[in-house]
Structure 1
């Protein structure tokens, strides 16, 4: 009995696990999905002999360019030149206006889950796949890079875990090819060619070979083109809040030097159907053209609080209405480009927003319009703006290199040099080519007022460790107004190397004022960042707030 117990303890189990249980398949239609030697948690389905993947797997693991509008039941894919449209449950699709058909249903709904035929996904995605039965599973390969492969040294088994008591998943024949995922002293993690991922004894793993796999290709190629300006971009945003302001364009231009693009704030989202309000003027455009200045009309989502950006961007019919109206206005007013300034979006609308940029880019390109998109400096909370994907479709990505500190924040610089440098380097690191980046810089300064609280020390709140004994407010002023304010209050500025700008502080009527000054000196450091990184140019918010002398500094770097 003792011998029998000892033998049993050290004998490998012969238990074979049902692969349906291993893959957690609960119905005949369900299909396991193995991508690049990883078993995904999400399941596909097999219907009428065709393999389908759920939309989230398609979007998140294979090709983010597929866009599903659950509100209007339409699947979209944007190529560099066309919009592909598939209505749910159909075997036909449209490439722009050209109708095409397949011999299978392209999309299927199961409750709230959309499934997309893998053959259709592969049509626009460089990937390879093999389908296996008993149980249903699809093995997908997309990854490039170095991979370790081997051939089994003898007949053996792949077990679910590293240990002789772990159930057997698959019998492996001598010489069978395996991908080696991890090599351990006793057990190694491997993947078979038919999608079983588990462990074999390391001593049965043959010599490994490093294979450098190029990107899997099935012949689908994409080539993005962009409208690029020959000269560095020197752009100014012109805030226009009424039609009368358009009549001042002559004086606005005459106050600048070397500016070759102006972006008037003419258009804004005016309702939740995608309709656009306009303050545009053809006379304004004609005057700019006569003076060698291009006009990139700005479209914003901030002016009408009753207009829901989320509603418009997540409904294809409304989003495309917005796109069509922008293009119609650009043609009507003979614009050279469009500047998109959609801010304060929620993360949940990120896919709809980037689809808006894709769709707008196609129509801009077809009409010879430059498309530029304004962006915050990269942060974790703004990653859904997907600047790398913007750069594939838009001509220019504009970094709004300001509002480091803003109305309602703690006191600090509008745009310290470190903030600007990081904004540029982080944007490039996200995948935006430097030659497509326009660096936005401020012509304004915030004057911060720190006013002591009357009740300081008299309340329970005041006793807390994080209590602030003053209220912080600010106002934005142009360059000349800031200098007048400092002179009036006898404040003397001194240079701050850390901030890359002059700093001044003074007290008036018990209120402490702190000022991180934007002037020609601070602007020159930012322009140097632009030059050193080989960026496409600069833009300035906003025209009219600058001291005229700063243009002499600007033209040293952009002309």
Structure 2
């Protein structure tokens, strides 16, 4: 007799089957790629018919291009940030300025013309449109003055712009596939690609790679469907304007000469009597004295003549140290900037200077766009007059916003002020110019400025730091080389060499506190000069004449051979 299947067994079997089906369903769901595709308008974030998506160097930007009368316009701030930073909006005069190597032109909103030094130029379209409270530049006009390519695509509407041509890698798709919004098969599809399509590789991970297409889409694709990356060898003929530079065929050895009165000019021969190898002198002759751009001058033709007879060029220094001025006020005024430049050029011609040294300090991020515009405009004047144009910068750690990349293009030399690591207002004692500080300043600057344009300035001074016992505040006093040596001797300070800072350190504990000096001497200067030589910089500068001793000059000279 056949045994009957009990209801309990049947229930168990059914439960098992349900569980299996559930597990299988979860497995299928987990490993089945998403077929959801992001709509093109959604991907490019388009909300109006007059909007066009914007992709710059394979990155989708939040900003949108506007279509007006069939032409494409990009907001000026977007142009400046992503495409060409040399367009500068003068909010006081309500004009757009653009600087070229030897001239500057102006564009008035809603005009089909722009004014250059050679006259008025005309177009058959409005160059600068005002839309609401913003100003938009015609994209084709921007292209005339920019090393760029752009392509317009439809459905969805987008403009794909390219301004970078180096360090790009390409991959080839090995089989039909999808680019997804994120890495993972459950992420939505951005666009589909076919076998043999070429993509730009942006980032390579373990299983997925971030890529972009030539028509503006970016996302992630399975690494296994891509070929090995190869360098993009496409030849590109640059259309960027050529910025010519003055480059000396010798290493620069520039000494700063602090001149505070006309009588100070008479000290030149005395100050450089022992200065072996100095071929450039920079006297502190000029200062901005009001917000209209008036400058004071201590320039002297006799000084220049004497320097030339001693084989030295003269690069007159202009500073912004006058407390009666406000950097933002005069730098943001096109009239004030032009006034400064005109006076400098007149002074240079009158006394026969060879160059201008720009020493504007404490520039804030708010002031930075106006400062770099002044740098561009001053470079035009110097280039047209054949004057060497050099700029003094703090180390990049303190001044990332100074736009050294632009400085390295428009100026002849960029001088790193490799000192004031610890200064009068510092809350802790330390070196004025430790080796690590100098090294970092050089390395960071070389990321933006070519070595043949970089000069590193070294200090001939140090500080004695006094930390009083009890609740007293830390104080310091500037000492020259001989002054420091005498101070150490008079106070019986113990001295040892510190490899990390590349200096001798002297200290003593007195009744009232601890006295410490990070010494600048022949040995510390030699270590800094080694960095200049190893990095093949354009030369060295020294602050300042009068703080050194004669024995340091041969040390400097041997590293500039």
Which bin holds the TM-score, normalised by the shorter protein? 0.7 to 0.9
Q: Does the 8 Å contact 2:172/2:196 carry over to 1? A: no
Residue 502 (1) aligns with residue 504 (2)? yes
Distance, in Å, in 2 between the alignment partners of 1:393 and 1:214 is 28
> Residue 292 of structure 2: SS of its match in structure 1?
coil
Residue 446 (1) aligns with residue 448 (2)? no
The within-5 A match list for 1:530-541 is 530-541=532-543
> Residue 471 of structure 1: SS of its match in structure 2?
coil
The within-5 A match list for 1:412-427 is 412-427=430-445
| Matching residue within 293, 304, 313 for 2:331 | 313
TM (norm. structure 1) is: 0.85
Distance, in Å, in 2 between the alignment partners of 1:111 and 1:279 is 49
Q: Does the 8 Å contact 2:286/2:319 carry over to 1? A: yes
Report the Cα offset of residue 164 of structure 1: 9.2
Larger Rg: 2
**Number of the residue aligned with 1:356:** 374
Distance, in Å, in 2 between the alignment partners of 1:324 and 1:246 is 23
TM (norm. structure 2) is: 0.85
Residue 138 (1) aligns with residue 155 (2)? no
**Number of the residue aligned with 1:483:** 485
The within-5 A match list for 1:271-420 is 271-302=290-321, 304-379=322-397, 381-409=398-426, 410-420=428-438
> Residue 272 of structure 2: SS of its match in structure 1?
helix
Report the Cα offset of residue 507 of structure 1: 3.4
**Number of the residue aligned with 1:467:** none
Report the Cα offset of residue 421 of structure 1: 2.0
Report the Cα offset of residue 288 of structure 1: 1.5
Distance, in Å, in 2 between the alignment partners of 1:86 and 1:542 is 44
Q: Does the 8 Å contact 1:448/1:473 carry over to 2? A: yes
Distance, in Å, in 1 between the alignment partners of 2:418 and 2:285 is 22
| Matching residue within 508, 521, 524 for 2:526 | 524
Report the Cα offset of residue 416 of structure 1: 1.6
Q: Does the 8 Å contact 2:102/2:381 carry over to 1? A: no
Report the Cα offset of residue 386 of structure 1: 1.7
Distance, in Å, in 1 between the alignment partners of 2:249 and 2:184 is 65
**Number of the residue aligned with 2:273:** 254
> Residue 552 of structure 1: SS of its match in structure 2?
helix
Could you list the runs of 5+ residues in structure 1 that have no partner in the other structure? 457-469
Report the Cα offset of residue 367 of structure 1: 1.1
Residue 70 (1) aligns with residue 91 (2)? yes
Report the Cα offset of residue 186 of structure 1: 10
Pair 1:132–1:252, CA change in 2 (3 A)? same
Q: Does the 8 Å contact 1:36/1:143 carry over to 2? A: yes
> Residue 93 of structure 2: SS of its match in structure 1?
coil
| Matching residue within 39, 52, 55 for 1:34 | 55
Report the Cα offset of residue 325 of structure 1: 1.9
Q: Does the 8 Å contact 1:46/1:136 carry over to 2? A: no
**Number of the residue aligned with 1:93:** 114
CA RMSD of aligned residues (A): 3.3
> Residue 422 of structure 2: SS of its match in structure 1?
coil
Q: Does the 8 Å contact 1:151/1:176 carry over to 2? A: yes
Pair 1:24–1:237, CA change in 2 (3 A)? same
Distance, in Å, in 1 between the alignment partners of 2:200 and 2:313 is 57
| Matching residue within 107, 129, 132 for 1:111 | 132
Distance, in Å, in 2 between the alignment partners of 1:294 and 1:224 is 23
Deviation string, structure 1 residues 47-88 (Cα, Å, up to 9, x no partner)? 011111122332222223333333433333333333343233
Q: Does the 8 Å contact 2:145/2:241 carry over to 1? A: no
Deviation string, structure 1 residues 284-333 (Cα, Å, up to 9, x no partner)? 2222222222111100011x112111122223222222222222221122
Residue 50 (1) aligns with residue 71 (2)? yes
Pair 1:232–1:15, CA change in 2 (3 A)? closer
> Residue 287 of structure 2: SS of its match in structure 1?
strand
Residue 81 (1) aligns with residue 97 (2)? no
Could you list the runs of 5+ residues in structure 2 that have no partner in the other structure? 1-17
> Residue 331 of structure 1: SS of its match in structure 2?
helix
Report the Cα offset of residue 338 of structure 1: 0.7
